[in-house]
Amino acid sequence: MALVPKWLYENSEYRITFTGHSKGAGEAAVNAEFWNKPAVVFNPSVPAAAWDLQDEGYVRSYVMMGDILNYLIGEMPLGETLYLLNSDINGDISWADRVKYHDIGYIIGSFRKDE
C-alpha cells in the first residue's frame, strides 16, 4: 500500500481500474473509493473498512444470485450492485449451491451463456 501513492503520482497518464473477486473484490472496492479510481468487482466480501468510507460511486459490484457471501453478510455498501440472474435456482438453495454460485468460474460461465 505504501507504494501506491508514489506509483499513481509517477504514472498519472494511466487509467487505473481496480478489480477482484471475493476477498480481492472487497480490497479492490476499498482502494477504489480511497484513491478515487473505478473498480469492477465480483461477489465481493465486505471488509470492515468499507463501512468507514464515504460512497463516491466508484464501485460496480456484480453478484451472482444465490451467492453465499451476499447471503451471509449482505451487499457491498459502496457503489452500485448488479445481480446476475441465475437460471440454476429452482426453489430453496442449498449451502453447497451457495458456495458453488460464489466461484468465479461459475460467474464467468454465466456471462458466456449470454453470448
Q: Is residue 6 part of a domain?
A: no
User: How many other C-beta atoms can be found within 10 angstroms of the C-beta atom of residue 35?
Assistant: 15
Q: Is residue 9 part of a domain?
A: no
**If we measure between CA atoms, which residue out of 47, 52, 54, 6 comes closest to residue 28?**
47
User: For residue range 57-104, what is the model confidence (pLDDT) as tens digits?
Assistant: 999 999 999 999 999 988 888 889 999 989 889 889 999 999 999 999
Q: Is residue 90 part of a domain?
A: yes
Q: Is residue 10 part of a domain?
A: no
User: For residue range 26-60, what is the model confidence (pLDDT) as tens digits?
Assistant: 999 988 988 889 999 999 998 776 777 788 899 99
- Residue 96's domain comprises 15-113
Q: Is residue 8 part of a domain?
A: no
Helix (H, G, I), strand (E, B) or coil at 20: strand
Q: Is residue 43 part of a domain?
A: yes
Q: Is residue 46 part of a domain?
A: yes
Q: Looking at the 3D structure of the chain, how many domains does it have?
A: 1
Q: Is residue 3 part of a domain?
A: no
